[in-house]
Amino acid sequence: MHLPPQQGVRPCAPYRPQLHYTPARNWMNDPNGLVWHDGEYHLFYQYNPYGNDWGNMSWGHAVSTDLVHWEELGVAIEATDDEHVFSGSAVIDHDGTMVAVYTSYHPASGLQAQSLARSTDRGRTWTRHPGNPVLDIGSKEFRDPKVFWYGQGGYWVMAVVLALEWKVSFYRSDDLLSWTWLSDFGPAGSVDGIWEVPDLFELDGRWVLVVSLNPGGPAGGSGVQYFVGRFDGVTFTSDWPAAWVDHGRDFYAALSWNNTPDGRRRWIGWMSNWADAATHPTDPWRGAQSLPRELLLEDIGGRPCLVQRPVAALQALRSPDSIHVAGLDIPPGVLFRSVPEGALEITAEFAPGTAERFGLVIHEGVRIGYDIVRGEAFVEGTPSGRHAAPLSADGVRSSTDGVRSSADGVRRSGDGLRLTVIVDASCVEVFSDRGQIVFTEQIFAEPGSAQVGLFADSGTALLRSAAIHPLRPKRA
């Protein structure tokens, strides 16, 4: 089945984004099988071919040459009555074959095991391995294999979760068919929810282990944590406490691309939250992926921290009619100006004055800024149609209306704050101080609220500089 290309799907529905990948129709959740091959970035994902709710889990498929413009190819590996196709990864075997390693879920027994499928035509068609499953321990909570080539040892490594035991198990293989257990990591970090979708990769001389969990995230519902340490081909050892990947509410199942041509580490995440994903008011699709992000490790406050930035290809979409402002005093209250309709990239650098809080306003009521008194960056607001339980400043559910996510310990630019904000229909991504702190949010505001504002509470602040760039993707 071949569906219309993603770049041809115009955002006619009020919440359809232009830049964030959405399928033309039906339910989508976790990214799967991220791999670069023969000039294309492949994005597989959990997909229901038959409806707008979770079910009939199969692998959908899209490709891109630049991580910005996506072509939807339809269903890659489809569920059967006996086997649903849960999350997993993809690699390029030594003969150039694309191999998907995924979790087989068997509805009759409830058992989960790891299976293979192969493609010799760049992921367009797939053949299941006749000897599936290739790894079965008789468990109902054994899933989400991330496989990569461990060059130092000359073998394949699989990271896979034991979801209810809060463990990541590591296996090795020479041929992707026979797997030998190496070690387990965990429990560690947050164990407030089940563990899912592990990823393990080397980054800037250290190893990073990423684990999603649900619930227990920093803004309520699902979230993603990471550990930085060492991997010797057998055992992962964490050298620092776990930290959150994203302090917003809508970033889950983050997975990085294998086999990138330039060796840079890039990833993407499902832009939703299991606490309310089924109620998002979108039709005929439900579910979006985040913008792809480049990953770095930087030493901040005595520990290595994961830094995320939008991929550079996004800058090529900037419209020539950008708006630039510099040296603007922000009085107490809120200043608004109209901006072009469509996707926006907003960059801003602030210096504090006497204000206790200052920053940006989008969607007529969503505030993104810095709280001097609390020492935290935050995103908060009360847009109509927001389908989420409200949060207090410490990330615990409160009884007030709206959404609030906060992050302590943000390192500001001197004595100010630097923000990059992507606004794309309901999709909002906030990168504070060049990606040291990130918030990802689905905010279903009233359509047509094309304004950007500045605010300062209980005093004044200074906008050192700002730019508002309309982002215009190419159309097929």
pLDDT tens track for 305-324: 999 999 999 999 999 999 99
pTM across the whole model = 0.92
Residue type, 167: K
Residue labelled with tokens 């004044």: 460
Vertex 257 angle, CA 433 and 427, to 5°:
50
Higher pLDDT, 301 or 447: 301
pLDDT for residue 364:
74
Q: Does residue 55 contact residue 110 with C-beta atoms inside 8 Å?
A: no
30 is catalytic: yes
Query: What is the average pLDDT value for the chain, to the nearest integer?
Result: 90
**What count of residues does the chain have?**
476
Distance CA(172)–CA(161), nearest Å, equals: 15
In the chain, which residues fall in CATH 2.60.120.560? 318-470
Model confidence pLDDT, tens digit, residues 378-415 = 898 843 322 222 223 232 222 223 456 666 655 444 56
According to DSSP, the β-strands at 26-37 and 285-286 are parallel
Q: Spell out the CATH class of 318-470.
A: mainly beta
- Beta-bridge partner residues of 430: 421, 439
Residues 6+ apart with CB under 8 A from 284: 13, 24, 25, 26, 52
Residue labelled with tokens 């050192």: 464
Residue 341 has pLDDT above 90, yes or no: no
> Could you tell me the CA-to-CA distances from 287 to 271, 272, 283 in Å, in that order?
7, 7, 10
pLDDT for residue 448:
67
- Among 30, 199, 250, 424, the active-site one is 30
Residue 181 has pLDDT above 90, yes or no: yes
pLDDT for residue 403:
53
**Which fold does the domain 6-310 belong to in CATH?**
Tachylectin-2; Chain A (2.115.10)
> Could you tell me the CA-to-CA distances from 134 to 100, 179, 281 in Å, in that order?
12, 8, 39
Residue labelled with tokens 């991330």: 146
Distance CA(410)–CA(301), nearest Å, equals: 10
Q: Residue 172's closest CA among 131, 126, 232, 221?
A: 232
Mean pLDDT of 286-292: 99
**Could you tell me the two tokens for 155?**
């073998």
pLDDT confidence tier of residue 337, bands split at 50, 70 and 90: confident
pLDDT for residue 301:
85
Q: Does residue 431 contact residue 245 with C-beta atoms inside 8 Å?
A: no
In the chain, which residues fall in CATH 2.115.10.20? 6-310
> Could you tell me the CA-to-CA distances from 62 to 12, 21, 54, 121, 472 in Å, in that order?
20, 9, 19, 14, 20
DSSP state of 72: E
3-state secondary structure of 244: strand
Model confidence pLDDT, tens digit, residues 116-152 = 999 999 999 999 999 999 999 999 999 999 999 999 9
Mean pLDDT of 253-273: 98
DSSP state of 446: P
**Could you tell me the two tokens for 450?**
């094309």
